[in-house]
Chains A and B, each alone.
Chain A
Amino acid sequence: MGEKRNTGKIPEGADKRNPFSLPDGYFDSFPVKLTEKLQSEVPANILITKRIWETIRPQLALAAVITAFAMLGYFGFRSFIGTNDEWPSNEAVAEYIDYYQYDFIEPYFMSLLEEEDFYFEDATYPYSYTWSEDPDIYIDYLYNEDIDLDLILTEF
């Protein structure tokens, strides 16, 4: 671009010839020497990892794009059909627990699973949980446990 040369007066009488020299054939042998050094210095596993990464990178990118589109489609469809499966409120959960809660008795639970009759090992519970036709058994149980029958009837 015709940039103005700004070399000043120096050096008077000197030209710009390169005063240095170098061994014969240096630039012919340098690339070979460099290749050898690269092979010894740059660990092969780094190159292999780099190559593997370069090979799988497009596939990973494609998979990410497909996943993104699938998620967009899924959530878009859900919002389109107006599905509402929000989490229940804390009050609703508390009410549910209150209504369905029961004391967990492991041996009883196991017996239910195994569909066997259950007997309390404790002497204070001498009755089986198997249903009986005899109402006296239940009356005896309520009596022994000091349970108010009126209370049961009003509550349930």
Chain B
Amino acid sequence: MQNYSDKELLSLFRNTHQRNYAFNLIVRKYQERLYWHLRKMVIVHDDTDDLLQETFIKAWKGLADFREESQLYTWLYRIATNEALSFLKNKRKKYLLPIVDVEKELSSNLEDDSYFDGDELQKRLQKAILKLPEKQRLVFNMRYFDEIKYEDMAKILDTSVGALKASYHHAAKKIETLLKNN
């Protein structure tokens, strides 16, 4: 597959006759990164699959109006992040569960997940991450695993770099404590 830049892909997308082709290329370019971003938030593969589809459907509907004020990948990450947060929020509403029970459910899913190949230490780490508040979890995953720059995270999460650094620091401390105590 030819490697197009985001600018070239968007330019291709604006050509009505090549729209489907361009969108297919965008999907192929970003599907993996977005999948893993979503997967770390909702744990279960099937849920991730649904959210990834929703993310790209929203991108398809909104891409014609995308004005390139932000980068394509930060825009897509933002859509995916919102989808993940909405999913977790709906889950809490649906079952009338307090936040701790959603975490328990996700931890339980982790235990039963046939698509989890990590060792015991990785499982403990994932469970500790699941105990963080959702926003901190997002920040931790994006920084620790995806190694996204704070400046880019600030654009995706619409917050300041300082707030993100503080959030990451708190999250890291909590996880360290949880791992020590467990």
**A residues with CB within 8 A of B:** 1, 3, 6-14, 16-23, 26-27, 30-31, 33-35, 37-38, 41-42, 50-51, 54-55
Contact = CB atoms under 8 A, between A and B. Distances in A.
Contacts of A18: 36, 145
A interface secondary structure, majority: loop
Given A21-B115, A37-B57, A8 B121 contact: no
Closest 3 CB pairs of A and B: A19-B118, A8-B172, A19-B122
A138 B145 CA distance: 113
Contacts of B39: 20, 22
Nearest to A5: B147
A41 B165 CA distance: 40
B37 to A, nearest CB: 12
B179 to A, nearest CB: 6
A14 B125 contact: yes
B67 to A, nearest CB: 16
Interface in B137-160: 143-145, 149-150
B92 interface: no
B60 interface: yes
Given A21-B116, A27-B32, A30-B31, A6 B165 contact: yes
Contact of A19 (B52, B117, B165, B179): B117
Given A8-B169, A8-B173, A14-B125, A34 B56 contact: yes
Contact of A10 (B35, B64, B179): B179
B175 interface: yes
A10 to B, nearest CB: 5
Contacts of A16: 144-145
B28 A37 contact: no
B172 A10 contact: yes
B137 to A, nearest CB: 14
B82 interface: no
Contact of B115 (A1, A23, A41, A55): A23
B53 A34 contact: yes
A35 B27 CA distance: 10
B16 interface: yes
B45 interface: yes
Interface string B108-121: 00000101111101
A14 B27 CA distance: 32
B61 interface: yes
A35 B122 CA distance: 35
B135 interface: no
Given A9-B176, A22-B45, 15 more contacts: A7-B143, A8-B169, A14-B125, A19-B126, A20-B36, A20-B115, A22-B35, A22-B39, A26-B49, A27-B31, A27-B32, A30-B27, A30-B31, A31-B31, A41-B57
A35 B23 CA distance: 10
B77 to A, nearest CB: 17
